[in-house]
């Protein structure tokens, strides 16, 4: 029979082994591939493609069950027809290609189908005295700004490669028509908005247009879309680039012929993401390709100077007293890793991306795959306090797609570097 000392020793050994097992699981859970899948799977598991009554809180899985007098909203923000959903769709499709798991493509395909199968119900209810965003899928049929159709249109093109539906092709063509013929432009062809002041150039809009235009060039076989996308990169850089800070301003007021006040993190991320999407699709022999790579490399070197000790970037890139923000950190991480992987820039830049991903893993992604500190949607104002005080939320759709893209590309980057 064992004495008390032996029993205590056995108990200690079992506890120690248990701690080691738990520690090993924790380490395994933080590997790049597991973190990536956790973020993507969290969104798949929490997406709800249904509707809910604003007053009665009743869930409706089909529009045919919705009473005439019931005001409706999406039950989940992951079901909305918003540019951020388009970004997430494209990331999920890339993850499907990377992993071989069809469930990620199916997420994007289901989201597109949810919109295309249901929007006509709400379109019939539409009244012009209410804003389009009051109605589920209002942006789908109104297409009043680039936000409404650029990223969603780009994701529609990606889904259409496997799901060949006539109404999808019609949506793509309508989006192309809006961007090329309807959206406001300056005299030199630069895309602008009608607000907050007439003919205001938003840095965000390089992403809201160029990824679609680049895909449309391939989709249609018409080089005019590539040429327009290239022109937008050159023009946005002309109006928004601050050569002293080596950052992009958030906006340019054409009526005042001056920039806004902020070097906002995410708008710089949108600019960089747009360039990468363009280079992903631009023909290798396009005459402007080398100049585009030089612009991208210059921006990468610029933002690298603002990366903090944890590998992350601030809400206001040049203001270290602003909070560390996840969406721009993920965007820069993805773009730099992608540029190195594609051979557009020297592989030595890859460490910037690796540090960025490590910062996201260690500080911004929870053990169950949720993403913290993503700035909410942000307009334009001429005071820094507005940008400082924008809320940062958990699982905000503005950053989810970029985090997935960053994970994919950093995993590829580490594999590539280990082979050198």
Residue 3's pLDDT is 55
User: 176 with 118: CB under 8 angstroms?
Assistant: no
Contact 353, 336 (CB under 8 A): yes
User: Mind giving me the DSSP string for 335-392?
Assistant: HHHHHHHTTSS-GGGHHHHHHHHHHHHHHTB-TTS-B--EE------SSHHHHHT--E
SS3 414: helix
Output the pLDDT for position 5: 52
pLDDT at 25: 38
Question: In Å, what is the CA distance from 414 to each residue of 163, 330, 410, 417?
Answer: 33, 16, 6, 5
Please tell me the predicted confidence (pLDDT) of residue 14.
41
For CA atoms 295, 373, 358, 88, the dihedral sign is negative
Tell me which residue of 331, 316, 387 sits closest to 364, measured CA to CA: 331
CA 335 to CA 300: how far, in whole Å?
8
Give me 199's structure tokens: 């003919």
d(CA 265, CA 294): 21
Domain architecture of the chain: domains with CATH: 48-174 (no CATH), 184-420 (1.50.10.10)
Residue 36, H or E segment: helix 32-46
Output the furthest CA–CA distance in the chain (Å, rounded): 94
> Quick check: 91 and 401 in contact, CB under 8 A?
yes
| Alpha-carbon 127 to chain mean position | 31
What are phi and psi for residue 187, nearest 5 degrees?
A: -60, -25
DSSP state of 179: I
Q: What is the 3-state secondary structure (H, E, C) of 41-98?
A: HHHHHHCCCCEEECCCCCEECCHHHCCCCCCEEECCHHHCCCHHHHHHHHHHHHHHHH
**Cα 204 from Cα 206, distance rounded (Å):** 6
The whole-angstrom separation of Cα 4 and Cα 8 is: 6
Strands across the sheet containing 72-74: 59-60, 51-53, 72-74
Mean pLDDT by 10 residues, the chain (420 residues): 51 41 45 97 98 96 93 96 98 98 98 98 88 88 95 98 98 98 98 94 98 98 98 98 98 97 98 98 97 98 98 98 98 98 97 98 98 98 97 98 98 87
The one-character DSSP state at 200 is E
Strand-pair category, 247-248 with 251-253 = unpaired
Q: Which helix (H) or strand (E) holds 322?
A: none
């Amino acid at each position: 029979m064992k004495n008390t000392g032996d029993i205590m020793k056995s108990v200690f050994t079992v506890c120690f082994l248990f701690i080691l097992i738990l520690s090993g699981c924790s380490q395994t859970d933080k590997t790049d591939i597991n973190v990536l899948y956790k973020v993507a799977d969290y969104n798949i598991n929490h997406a709800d493609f249904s509707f809910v009554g604003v007053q009665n809180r009743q869930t409706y899985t089909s529009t045919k069950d919705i009473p005439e007098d019931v005001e409706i909203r999406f039950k989940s923000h992951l079901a909305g027809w918003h540019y951020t959903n388009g970004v997430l769709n494209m990331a999920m499709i890339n993850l499907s290609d990377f992993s071989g798991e069809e469930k990620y493509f199916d997420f994007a395909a289901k989201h597109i189908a949810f919109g295309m199968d249901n929007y006509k119900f709400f379109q019939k209810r539409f009244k012009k005295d209410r804003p389009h965003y009051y109605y589920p899928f209002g942006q789908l049929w109104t297409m009043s700004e680039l936000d409404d159709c650029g990223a969603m249109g780009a994701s529609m093109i990606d889904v259409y490669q496997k799901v060949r539906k006539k109404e999808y092709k019609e949506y793509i063509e309508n989006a192309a028509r809006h961007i090329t013929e309807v959206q406001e432009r300056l005299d030199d062809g630069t895309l602008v908005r009608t607000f907050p002041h007439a003919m205001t150039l938003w840095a965000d809009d390089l992403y809201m247009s160029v990824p679609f235009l680049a895909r449309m060039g391939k989709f249609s076989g018409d080089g005019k879309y590539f040429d327009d996308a290239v022109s937008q990169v050159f023009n946005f850089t002309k109006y928004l680039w601050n050569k002293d800070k080596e950052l992009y301003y958030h906006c340019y007021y054409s009526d005042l012929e001056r920039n806004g006040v902020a070097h906002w993190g995410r708008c710089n991320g949108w600019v960089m993401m747009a360039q990468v999407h363009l280079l992903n699709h631009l023909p290798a022999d396009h005459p402007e390709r080398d100049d585009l790579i030089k612009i991208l490399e210059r921006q990468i070197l610029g933002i690298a100077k603002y990366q903090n000790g944890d590998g992350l970037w601030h809400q206001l890139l040049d203001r270290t007293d602003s909070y560390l923000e996840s969406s721009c950190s993920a965007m820069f991480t993805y773009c730099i890793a992608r540029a190195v992987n594609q051979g557009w820039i020297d592989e030595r830049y890859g460490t910037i991306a690796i540090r960025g991903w490590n910062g996201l893993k260690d500080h911004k992604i929870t053990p169950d795959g949720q993403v913290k500190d993503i700035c909410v949607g942000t307009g334009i104002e001429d005071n820094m306090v507005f940008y400082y005080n924008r809320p940062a939320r958990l699982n905000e759709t503005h950053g989810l797609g970029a985090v997935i893209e960053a994970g994919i590309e950093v995993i590829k980057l580490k594999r590539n570097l280990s082979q050198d």
